[in-house]
Amino acid sequence: MTGNGQIPFLDLITPHLELEEELVWVFRGILETAGFAGGPFVEGFEREFAEFCGTQYCVGVASGTDALRFALIAAGVNAGDTVITVPNTFIATAEAISQAGARPDFVEVDDRTYNMDARRLQEYLEMRCVRDFRTGKLLNAKTRSPISAIVPVHLYGQPAEMDLIGELAERYKLVVIEDACQAHGAEYFSNKENRWRRVGSIAHAAAFSFYPGKNLGACGEAGAVTTNDAALATKVRMLRDHGQAKKYCHEIEGYNGRLDAIQAGILQTKLKFLPDWNRQRRENAHRYNELFGAQDDLITAPYEPSRAKAVYHLYVIRVRYRDQLQRHLAQAGIATQVHYPMPLHLQRPYASLGYKEGDFPVTERIAAEILSLPMYPHLEAGQQKRIAHTIFELLSTKASIAGSQISQPYPSVGIARS
Ligand SMILES: *Cc1c(COP(=O)(O)O)cnc(C)c1O
């Protein structure tokens, strides 16, 4: 694969072929017992994934979006509330907030980690909110909608700044739900507790997606909520299954959002390999970092704070001439993607929030400069060298042209240096 062959963005074939025998065994077991819904695979996976995250409870659901929605509802988010997240995320984060009946609102991200900027969150809570004198609730000053929760996203597999976000949440009595859909196994050093913690165990509850391309992926759709709150776990269990606590006894109106038993069995099998796969992803990220280190005037590699152990769901660089570089790589048979090209505050479904271009300058600049390179456990060193070489090829030509044409300086929007 390393010669002049194509380098895919993602390799979902190799790991499944390697595990074919075990995965077929799961499927056969379920066929023989017709245990399609619930049962030992679902319970087994829930137990093992809770243990993996370091939480007491895990509730399997049908997708990451359901996990976020159910966690928000179970945590007490009401219709008409406002829930704060970031504009630089996959739309599912905001969709789940709307599906819980709330209104998503955004705060800016950090220029180096691309995750929620806790100082901007503080600014939002202090400057754009007021206290309701009668209820004591924090309201958005403009919309008068109560702020009830914060959803930080561990984007690209990098933990968000949870200590600072947690402190603010405590001060303002807000719930924090982690969007851990890209960060299975990532770790964060909590200064408050003086120990490393797995994402999924840091806030009130967390949502995971097991969409096939995630670090832990099903062979179809799946998700989970993790938490240490027994009542929240019970509520999510009801929400995923039509609101029933007992069969045909409905406490509330719920949803059809159960975890499929076949997917649970597949996830249970694959979970054993997740620590190894994450280690390989980290090694691949370090190899990329070394390759790009000598060219840090042209390429900004991902920034990993000393308090974070990222799991590199995506390896995202920042460059000028991003679109041209993406075309150049495609011509060389190297597949790349952009996560995400249009920030949520500029997407049509959120037009009613009234944001315009320029409102989140860091997010907007990131969106114009980021490029996700091939990243998966089975990526080979030779492939990474070829990718780096192909990137240098274009960027060094660009840099020397720009350097020789003094009348045509660099575009005014610069890349923030770390
Ligand atoms: C994948 C993803 C989701 C949604 O997960 P689904 O399983 O596709 O519903 C939510 N948030 C983020 C950040 C994601 O990457």
Q: For residue 370, what are its two tokens?
A: 């980021």
**Of residues 403 and 1, more confidently modeled:** 403
Inter-residue contact 117 to 77 (CB < 8 Å): no
Question: Residues 165-176: pLDDT tens digits?
Answer: 999 999 999 999
Counting ligand 1 atoms within 8 A of each CB, the residue from 97, 155, 182, 339 with the most, and so the one to mutate, is: 182
Residue 405: which pLDDT band, with cuts at 50, 70 and 90?
low
Q: How far is the CA of 254 from the centre of ligand 1 (A)?
A: 21
Sorted by where each starts, the structural domains of the chain and their CATH numbers stand as 14-271 (3.40.640.10), 274-401 (3.90.1150.10)
Closest CA to 317 of 249, 245, 243, 391: 391
CA gap 108, 91 in Å, rounded: 16
Buried b (16+ CB within 10 A) or exposed e, 348-363: eebeebebeeebbebb
User: What pLDDT shows up at residue 404?
Assistant: 60
Residue 410 pLDDT exceeds 80: no
Average of per-residue pLDDT across 75-85: 98
- To the nearest 10°, report the CA torsion of 256, 257, 261, 264: 180
β-bridge pairing 103-106 and 82-85: parallel
Those residues whose C-beta lies under 8 Å from the C-beta of residue 27, and which sit 6 or more positions away, are: 262, 265
Helix, strand, or coil (residue 186) = coil
Q: Determine the Cα–Cα distance for residues 94 and 334; give it in Å rounded to an integer.
A: 31
Q: Which segments of 109-179 does DSSP mark as H helices, in order?
A: 118-127, 162-172
Query: With 90 as the cut, is the pLDDT of residue 7 above it?
Result: yes
Q: Of all residues in the chain, what percent carry a pLDDT higher than 70?
A: 95
Q: 317-345: per-residue pLDDT in tens? A: 999 999 999 999 999 999 999 999 999 99
Q: How far is the CA of 238 from the centre of ligand 1 (A)?
A: 21
8 A C-beta contact, residue 1 and residue 7: yes
Single out the residue of 393, 374, 402, 407 nearest to residue 6, CA to CA: 374
Closest C-alpha residue for ligand 1 atom 6: 64
For residue range 201-248, what is the model confidence (pLDDT) as tens digits? 999 999 999 999 999 999 999 999 999 999 999 999 999 999 998 889
Binding pocket residue ranges, ligand 1, CB within 6 Å? 63-65, 89-90, 92-93, 153, 179, 181-182, 209, 211, 223
- Kindly state the average pLDDT of the residues 372-393: 97
Reference 279, options 373, 381, 186, 202; nearest CA is 186
Distance 166 CA to ligand 1 centre (A): 22
Structure tokens at 39: 């049962």
Give the pair of three-digit tokens for residue 124: 């939002």
> What pLDDT does residue 136 have?
86
State the alpha helices, DSSP H only, in 75-117: 92-99
Q: Which atom of ligand 1 is nearest to the CA of 63?
A: 7
Residue 117's identity, in one-letter code, is D
Q: How far is the centre of ligand 1, averaged over its atoms, from the C-alpha of 181 (Å)?
A: 5
Q: What is the mean pLDDT of residues 92-104?
A: 98
The DSSP element (H or E) to which 340 belongs, if any, is none
Alpha helices of 113-189 — where are they, by DSSP H? 118-127, 162-172
Q: Decide if pLDDT at 49 tops 80.
A: yes
**pLDDT confidence of residue 140:** 97
Q: Are 318 and 372 in contact (CB under 8 A)?
A: no
Place of tokens 């991902």: 302
Mean pLDDT to the nearest integer, 115-128: 98
Atom from ligand 1 closest to the CA of residue 210: 7
Q: Which residues of 210-219 are buried (b: 16+ CB within 10 A; e: fewer)?
A: bbeebbbbbb
User: What is residue 63's DSSP assignment?
Assistant: -
Q: What are phi and psi of 195, to 5 degrees?
A: -160, 160
Contact 225, 206 (CB under 8 A): yes
Burial of 11 (0-12, 13-18, 19+ CB in 10 A): middle
- Please give the share of the chain, as a percent, with pLDDT higher than 90: 88
Q: Say whether pLDDT at 45 is over 60.
A: yes
Q: What integer is the mean pLDDT of 66-72?
A: 98
- As a whole number, mean pLDDT of residues 108-114 equals 98
Query: Which of 86, 97, 115, 209 has the most ligand 1 atoms within 8 A of CB, as the residue to mutate?
Result: 209
In a 10 Å sphere around its CB, with 0-12 CB exposed, 13-18 middle and 19+ buried, how is residue 399 labelled? Answer: middle
Q: Does the pLDDT at position 402 exceed 90?
A: no
* Residue-level pLDDT at 4: 60
For the cut 50, the answer to whether the pLDDT of residue 259 exceeds it is: yes
pLDDT band at 54 (very low <50, low <70, confident <90, very high): very high
Q: How many residues does the chain have?
A: 418
Which value, in Å, is the radius of gyration of the alpha carbons in the chain? 22
pTM (2 d.p.): 0.94
* Ligand 1 pocket mutation, candidates 63, 70, 211, criterion most atoms within 8 A of CB: 211
Average pLDDT, the chain: 94
